[in-house]
Structure 1
Amino acid sequence: MAWNEPGGGKQRDPWRDNGGGNGGGPDLDALTRRLREFFNRLFGGGGGGPGVAVVAMLLVWLAFDSVALIKAGESGVVLRFGEVARLMTPGINFKLPRPIETLYKVNVGGVRTTNAQVRMLTRDENIVLIDFNVQYLVTDPQKVLFGVRDPDGTLGQAAESAVRSVVGGSTMDTILSGQRAELITRAKQQLQATLDQYKTGLTVNALNFQNVRPPQEVKDAFDDASRALQDKQRLEEEAKAYASKVVPEARGDAATARAEAEGYKSERIARAEGDAQRFNLVQGQYRLAPEVTRKRMYLETMQEVLSQTPKIIDFSAGKNILSLPASPEVRAVVPGAAGTTVVSPETGKGGR
């Protein structure tokens, strides 16, 4: 039966009793009447009708629009008639209602990430695939909102440009070797310079080459080149180890030779100086007694010479008496004794 069908007793209002006798829903008419009475009392009790309700709603809207809640990790940019007026910090802030002041919230606490892959030629004309990752932060909310149209897209394009510039100017060996960290640093610096130039308000936190590999079409050739590079590095390490072993030994031998040479030099100099002093002394004695000194020198010389030779040549036809020290080669010698060979100058034959 319809809610206003005749014969159903008193006329029922679906907005009041919801078809259920005493009713369980809100009474909107009563609520509206109470609000109207409240604003009538507020504005002097003069009625006012719909105008009072409009004013009340406007006041409520102004009150809510003047309070701004900035969450942690956010920053608020306030525009006053389209011009940046101030920045809001996290917490409860107040502003003038729109359209006088407009608030834009920017997330500055989270780390943003972008990933991309580039396929390009290196300086030595090798094809390489590089997967890179960029982590960045928002450091200037005003520039993020009004510096460029698409800050995130601009960063992605600038990152790819920086990676291409650095990788395209390097060789494959440089990219695959331990110098990759230097390339990453250069790419990061170039990316940050581009972002600052375009006034994006973004700061690069980290840039990484996640994977560097050749395309599948040239993978076999690349593996051969990689193995050759590893063999080269192994041989270089072995050569360095051998050099570290041999070079100290050579330096030690050289130091020993220098020390021996210095010792021999000192010995020869000392001996020469001693011989010179001895000659000077003998010369002084010769001047005092020439005959005696001459004989003494002769005897000393003959003693030194004959003591070191096993064969004696006698030019005196046996008139001299030779007294030689005993040795395995030269025995106790007297003229005609066994073990001594006397060579006569006239015949050139020896006798015993």
Structure 2
Amino acid sequence: MSLREDLQQVSQHSQRLWLLLLGVIPLIYLLSGFYSVGAEQRGILSRFGKIVDDKIAPGMHYRLPWPIESVEKLQVTAVRSMELDFAIAPHDKHLQLELTTGDENLINVALILQYNIQEAGIFQHQAAAPEQLLRQLAHAESIQYVASQKIGDLLTTGRNQFQSSLQQAIQQQTRTLNLGINITSVQIRRLEPPQSIKQVFDDVAVARAEKQEKIQVEQGERSSTLAKARSDANRQQQQTQAYVSELLARANGDRDRLMSTWEEYRQAPDLIGQRMYLEMLEQVMPKAKMTLAEPSFP
């Protein structure tokens, strides 16, 4: 085989290879448009940098190959957490570590903010740092709410109200700024007075508990005394009613006997009168005393 024939053969192989490459490369380019979205993800489809769909559901999808269209995948269903601890020194040295209440007391606050992404496209492109903005909103709303409340209410009956009100306020602000975030809960991790005055509040809490205990004891004794008094009153009332019934029965019996005797006396007055006289003597004589005295003669 001559050199010329070898060169021709090599040229033919090269042509076939180039033809194969020209057929395969476009196919690979077109197949690169297939992509999948995970179960907890949402896809954001952009065409030449402009969002055309920000709610691509989980599963297999197709897009036009890059650079015509591109897809961003974002975790949206998973709940995210953010801790807000006002006791940690902030970057801004002018901010205080404790919050001031409406009655001018200081209080330490630490919160857990839980949220998820409601609008993936808005969250990704509306603000440069939406979670940092969310943190700033939560700080501002916390300061504003605490400043409107008394410390006693915050430490006792107002904890649940604090959480729910703060959640609603932060959610309202995120909707106003169109951040695409849904606030699922706000939980109090720490809510207490500073250590410098904590003992005072502890003493107040102990005194309040002791007062409540004394009130409960006094109420128990009062209930017991009232129950005993009602029992004694009922017993005396029953005894009185029994005595009255006995007197009435006795009076009725005496009346009946008197009427019967009177009827008999009216029919035979001499006989009944003599019998009554003898019965009286039977009653009186046993009680009579007789004294015999001898006569004295001068």
1:70 aligned residue: 37
Which segment is superposed worse, 232-241 or 187-196? Answer: 187-196
Displacement of 1:57: 6.4
Residue by residue over 1:23-74, the C-alpha shift from the partner in whole angstroms, topping out at 9 and shown as x without a partner, is: xxxxxxxxxx98765334677xxxxxxxxxxx9867654543x122434533
Superposition map of 1:1-352 within 5 A: 37-40=16-19, 60-64=28-32, 66-71=33-38, 73-80=40-47, 82-85=50-53, 87-98=55-66, 100-118=68-86, 119-146=98-125, 150-177=129-156, 179-196=158-175, 198-215=177-194, 219-220=196-197, 222-245=198-221, 247-276=223-252, 278-289=254-265, 292=272, 296=276, 322-324=285-287, 333-336=288-291
Q: Is the 8 A contact 2:54 2:121 kept in 1?
A: no
Task: Give 1:252's aligned amino acid.
Answer: K
1 CA distance for matches of 2:278 and 2:173?
102
Q: Determine which structure has more spread, i.e. the larger CA radius of gyration.
A: 1
Distance 1:335 1:104, change over 3 A: same
Runs of at least 5 residues in structure 1 that lack an aligned partner in the other structure: 1-32, 44-54, 304-320, 325-332, 338-352
Identity of aligned residues (%): 16
Residue by residue over 1:144-180, the C-alpha shift from the partner in whole angstroms, topping out at 9 and shown as x without a partner, is: 2355554313422332344334433432223223652
Counterpart of 2:99 in 1: which secondary structure?
strand
Displacement of 1:95: 0.9
Task: Give 1:279's aligned amino acid.
Answer: R
Q: What's the Cα RMSD here?
A: 4.0
Alignment: residue pair count: 264
Q: Is the 8 A contact 1:286 1:294 kept in 2?
A: no
Distance 1:114 1:86, change over 3 A: closer
Distance 1:101 1:41, change over 3 A: closer
Counterpart of 1:200 in 2: which secondary structure?
coil
2 CA distance for matches of 1:207 and 1:63?
46
Task: Give 1:164's aligned amino acid.
Answer: I
Q: Is the 8 A contact 2:101 2:148 kept in 1?
A: yes
Distance 1:188 1:270, change over 3 A: farther
Distance 1:271 1:59, change over 3 A: same
Task: Give 1:323's aligned amino acid.
Answer: P
**Which TM-score applies when normalising by structure 2?**
0.68
Distance 1:86 1:208, change over 3 A: closer
Runs of at least 5 residues in structure 2 that lack an aligned partner in the other structure: 1-11, 87-97, 293-298
Higher-helix-fraction structure: 2
2 CA distance for matches of 1:130 and 1:214?
9
1 CA distance for matches of 2:171 and 2:14?
58
